């Protein structure tokens, strides 16, 4: 089964690249930010017991949740980046807490037409690809759901795939 594969390792080494998302109305508010947020909170966050990111937020926009470690309430977040500064592990990069939050529908319309998601179709550096993916802890590949997989060096190897 083909999935959109987000490679966080490659993303972190080529941040200057411009990613093309199919969402046409706000070109600077691409759905890729939502994918980054999703993957970062699940796989990179160290799951601090007393999370400084949460307590530093002036808008109560971050909450610890069991399913994804952290949840950001986009309608409260003012993108002040206090959480980014408070995190002792550098987990939260600016792209994870944008002011204009986006949603990614994984280009369902394109998938129905047997086309790859727009970001994968236009990505030349392998950060986003659309391919057959097998979960493999050895290869640092994790399946998030029926449509999305992530390649990253996870802080803690998940015992089973987290289906969200
Ligand atoms: S960037 Fe958003 S989530 Fe982070 S501290 Fe500021 S308001 Fe809270
Ligand atoms: S401070 Fe950093 S590592 Fe700790 S819970 Fe927050 S984002 Fe995760």
C-alpha distances in angstroms, 90 versus 22, 72, 97, 106? 30, 17, 13, 27
Protein residue whose Cα sits closest to atom 5 of ligand 1: 57
Residue 77 lies in a domain: yes
| 71 Cα to the center of ligand 2, angstroms | 11
Q: What pLDDT was estimated at residue 66?
A: 85
Helix (H) or strand (E) holding 62, with range, is: strand 62-65
**Paired residues of 128 in beta bridges:** 6
| 27 Cα to the center of ligand 2, angstroms | 29
Q: Between 164 and 43, where is the model more confident? A: 43
Cβ–ligand 1 contact at 83 (below 6 Å): yes
Using the atom order of ligand 1, give the atom closest to the CA of residue 53: 5
Using the atom order of ligand 2, give the atom closest to the CA of residue 155: 3
Q: What is the mean pLDDT of residues 30-59?
A: 92
Using the atom order of ligand 1, give the atom closest to the CA of residue 82: 5
Residue bearing tokens 């529908």: 105
Residue 161 lies in a domain: no
Q: What pLDDT was estimated at residue 18?
A: 64
Listed in sequence order, the residues at least 6 apart from 58 whose beta carbon sits closer than 8 Å to its beta carbon are 78, 80, 82
Residue 159 lies in a domain: no
pLDDT tens for residues 75-87? 999 999 999 999 9
Domain with 68 in it: 2-151
| 26 Cα to the center of ligand 2, angstroms | 29
Residue 27 lies in a domain: yes
Residue 119 lies in a domain: yes
Pairing, β 128-132 against β 2-7: antiparallel
Start-end of H helices in 14-150: 32-39, 52-56, 82-86, 108-112, 118-121
pLDDT tens for residues 86-118? 999 999 999 899 988 878 888 888 888 889 998
Cβ–ligand 1 contact at 57 (below 6 Å): yes
* Burial of 158 (C-beta count, 10 Å sphere; 0-12/13-18/19+): middle
Count of structural domains, the chain: 1
Residue 44 lies in a domain: yes
Residue 162 lies in a domain: no
Residue 160 lies in a domain: no
Taken in order 41, 45, 49, 52, is the CA torsion positive or negative? negative
């Amino acid at each position: 089964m083909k999935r959109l594969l987000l490679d966080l390792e490659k993303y972190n080494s080529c941040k200057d690249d411009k990613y093309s998302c199919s969402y046409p109305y706000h070109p600077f508010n691409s759905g890729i930010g939502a994918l980054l947020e999703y993957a970062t909170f699940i796989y990179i966050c160290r799951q601090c017991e007393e999370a400084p990111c949460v307590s530093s937020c002036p808008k109560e926009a971050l909450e610890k949740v069991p399913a994804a470690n952290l949840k950001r309430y986009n309608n409260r977040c003012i993108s002040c980046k206090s959480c980014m500064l408070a995190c002792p592990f550098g987990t939260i990069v600016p792209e994870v807490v944008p002011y204009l939050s986006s949603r990614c529908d994984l280009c369902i319309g394109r998938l129905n037409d047997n086309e790859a998601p727009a970001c994968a179709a236009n990505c030349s550096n392998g950060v986003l690809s659309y391919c057959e993916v097998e979960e493999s802890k050895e290869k640092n590949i994790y399946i998030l759901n029926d449509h999305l997989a992530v390649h990253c060096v996870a802080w803690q190897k998940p015992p089973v795939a987290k289906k969200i």
